[in-house]
Structure 1
Amino acid sequence: MHPTRILHRAALPRTKPALLLATKWNEKHDPTGWWISEKYDGVRAYWDSKAQKMVSRLGNVFGVPEWFTRDLPKDMDLDGELWGGYGAFSRTVSVVKTLKQNQMTLPTWSCLTYQIFDTPTKDPFETRLVLLKKYMANIHARHLCLVDYRQCTSREDLREELERVERRGGEGIMLRRAGSLYIGKRDASLRKLKKGLDAECVVVGYEEGKGRNEGVVGSLKCRLENDKVFWLGSGLTDEDRKCPPPIGSVVTFRFMEWTKEGIPRHPSFVGVRIDYDPDAGTDTSMDAAMDVGTNVEMDTIASASVNTEQSTRHVQVDTNANANEDRPPEPEAKTRIPATMSMTSTHFKSTSMN
């Protein structure tokens, strides 16, 4: 085993990239002439060509293997999405959020692609697209992909394209205004369109399951940005119930609509976010979860040692990284409910939702 040194994640230096962020599409607008592309449900990733590093929305450096970034440019930054395929958001997160990977037991970077959709130059979008196509013309790596763009011809065209994307399991459509610039903040020149709603919340507790889910997590107790609390159980897999997102994690859920009380109707769990930017307003992550400790309810887990383990996450940095640079990184283990812990009301608390 190579010697390692332990660093607290918050201590790692980072520079948050100035990304162009989307607003929601208003169906009253005419999409004719807008550039449209598929919206990929993955993890936002920015290629810093000067530093030769791939970073998250918060500026955290991904533990990317050398082969994955070998063909990325040395003189052009890229904006894109790390994507593991349709319905594979959780698998994507399990790969990108950690520094090492056991190829024999867990998914590796080989199951991901980098879906490139922009380059942050000062040029209009059409010029940026030409630059991207010129770069990709000489790239033959299968995991590096340029998102397909075309200009929308009508409202009906947009509706049909959304239906095509959803039929193959896609999340939705992205729209870019013709001639628009890359503005490093949320801007109306970039829009997103998808059916249904999604949002983020912080996990603050657990409720034990019943019937076949007895002894494991039945629902996650979650807190919204408006401080409303609700239970999130639909969408959790058997593995999620055995190894639930740690207290303080930020998770994404989909739902039908908001109630008058500000609670999501028919929420369904999607996955843990690792690319949340609290300043951006609408997306969410593990990084943000580290800053919500004072708001997290720890009343559902009795063991102080478990609380300590979950609230002080660390990452291992291999001091002999060069020897392993071609090995995909190994995801950190999920926080499991210890096998020695009896699943009783001492550990699960079914709080009434007032």
Structure 2
Amino acid sequence: MDRRAFVLAALALLAPAAMAGKAPPLMLAEVYRRGLPLADYWVSEKYDGVRGYWDGKQLWTRGGERIAAPAWFTAALPAIPMDGELWAGRGRFAHAVSTARSDKPVDAAWREMRFMVFDLPASPGDFTTRLAALRKLLPITEAPWIVAVPQLRATTDEDLQALLDKTVRMGGEGLMLHRGGSLYRAERNNDLVKVKPFEDADARVVSYVPGRGKHAGRMGAMWVETEDGKRFKLGTGFSDAEREKPPAIGSWVSYRYNGTNPSGLPRFARFLRERPDLGD
């Protein structure tokens, strides 16, 4: 199959779901556990931004919302699907979210953004093969904001922890592990693993609990539901402003926790932040 035929076939396979406003078919990460065999994994920084899926013509969020990027930002992107992170730099998650979710792109804001590309979902072969193809596509001289995520080989748990500590000290969020022999599967699996100094996850807000005492007249806690249907209450981690104006019912939030109890519910769960980039 020649390059043009491959591109057309890939777009026909992957683009329609996103272009119909549905969530694009993305690979999602599991959480790292010590003892995972690391011999076939690549490691990279975990960028704290907005997941961006380029379907060959248009950028979409993980939740399936169209991203109104300026024409100049995407003009040089190849006409094949690309998976990555729209990133504004370490510690600038809020800027990345507000920029990516704006209906009217602001050039000044987008000049501070980069598209950190870590995979080619429609390219043939395993991740190591796809990575080689990505490195041939990028960088693009006229679009230095389109960046191939640097990937190194993982080694031992101890070396991985040392790299994590260094990344966090520099303001990074954590690391990502990609199994070299993995195909791109649009599901959550151990071929893609996140490594962070704490455990976190996302859940949808389903209801509120009225506050008492010093929180009387505002939100005291919220009930949330995970992707697999588990419900639990988040009552800590909120600022006074967030209790006065809590995330809307139906919206997504991130929470931190310390392991799980026998029922599978998170232990010591506390609110981390709202996740408008995960909205439907």
TM-score over 0.5 for the pair: yes
Residues 133 and 101 of structure 1: CA distance in aligned 2, closer, same or farther (over 3 Å): closer
Residue among 87, 94, 101 paired with 1:97: 101
Give the match for residue 130 of structure 2. Answer: 128
- Deviation digits for residues 154-195 of structure 1, max 9, x if unmatched? 332212111112222322221122233222333332222223
Q: TM-score, normalised by structure 2?
A: 0.78
Question: Structure 2: which amino acid aligns with 1:138?
Answer: I
Give the match for residue 66 of structure 1. Answer: 71
Larger radius of gyration: 1
- Deviation digits for residues 244-299 of structure 1, max 9, x if unmatched? 32222121111223346765444333322245xxxxxxxxx321xxxxxxxxxxxx
Question: Structure 1: which amino acid aligns with 2:25?
Answer: A
Consecutive unaligned residues in structure 1, runs of 5 or more? 1-11, 276-284, 288-354
Tell me the CA shift for residue 23 of structure 1: 2.3
Residue among 183, 189, 192 paired with 2:191: 189
- Structure 2 distance, partners of 1:274, 1:154, is 36
CA contact (8 A) 1:200 1:252 kept: yes
Structure with higher helix content: 2
Residues 222 and 15 of structure 1: CA distance in aligned 2, closer, same or farther (over 3 Å): closer
Alignment of 1:137-286 (within 5 A): 137-203=139-205, 204-205=207-208, 207-208=210-211, 217=218, 219-225=220-226, 226=229, 228-234=231-237, 236-237=238-239, 240-259=242-261, 264-275=266-277, 285-286=278-279
- Structure 2 distance, partners of 1:86, 1:32, is 28
- Deviation digits for residues 125-170 of structure 1, max 9, x if unmatched? 2232222222223335343222110112333221211111222232
CA contact (8 A) 2:128 2:180 kept: yes
Q: TM-score, normalised by structure 1?
A: 0.63
CA contact (8 A) 1:43 1:274 kept: no
SS at 1:138 equivalent: coil
Residues 65 and 219 of structure 1: CA distance in aligned 2, closer, same or farther (over 3 Å): farther
- Deviation digits for residues 108-134 of structure 1, max 9, x if unmatched? 333332111011211222232222222
Question: Structure 2: which amino acid aligns with 1:145?
Answer: V
CA contact (8 A) 1:207 1:218 kept: yes
Alignment of 1:70-81 (within 5 A): 70-74=75-79, 76-81=80-85
SS at 2:193 equivalent: strand
Question: CA RMSD for the aligned pairs?
Answer: 3.0
Residues 229 and 35 of structure 1: CA distance in aligned 2, closer, same or farther (over 3 Å): closer
Question: Structure 2: which amino acid aligns with 1:135?
Answer: L
- Deviation digits for residues 78-131 of structure 1, max 9, x if unmatched? 10011233333333323323312678xxx9333332111011211222232222
SS at 1:92 equivalent: helix
Tell me the CA shift for residue 18 of structure 1: 2.2
Residues 1:82 and 2:86 are matched in the alignment = yes
Q: How many residues align?
A: 258
Residues 70 and 147 of structure 1: CA distance in aligned 2, closer, same or farther (over 3 Å): same
Alignment of 1:316-327 (within 5 A): none
Question: Structure 1: which amino acid aligns with 2:85?
Answer: E
Give the match for residue 58 of structure 2. Answer: 53
- Structure 2 distance, partners of 1:91, 1:240, is 18
- Structure 2 distance, partners of 1:243, 1:111, is 29
In percent, how many aligned pairs have the same letter? 34
- Which has the higher relative contact order, 1 or 2, with Cα contacts under 8 A spaced 6 or more apart? 1
- Structure 2 distance, partners of 1:156, 1:200, is 28
Residues 1:37 and 2:39 are matched in the alignment = no
- Structure 2 distance, partners of 1:206, 1:96, is 31
Residues 206 and 249 of structure 1: CA distance in aligned 2, closer, same or farther (over 3 Å): farther
Question: Structure 2: which amino acid aligns with 1:222?
Answer: W
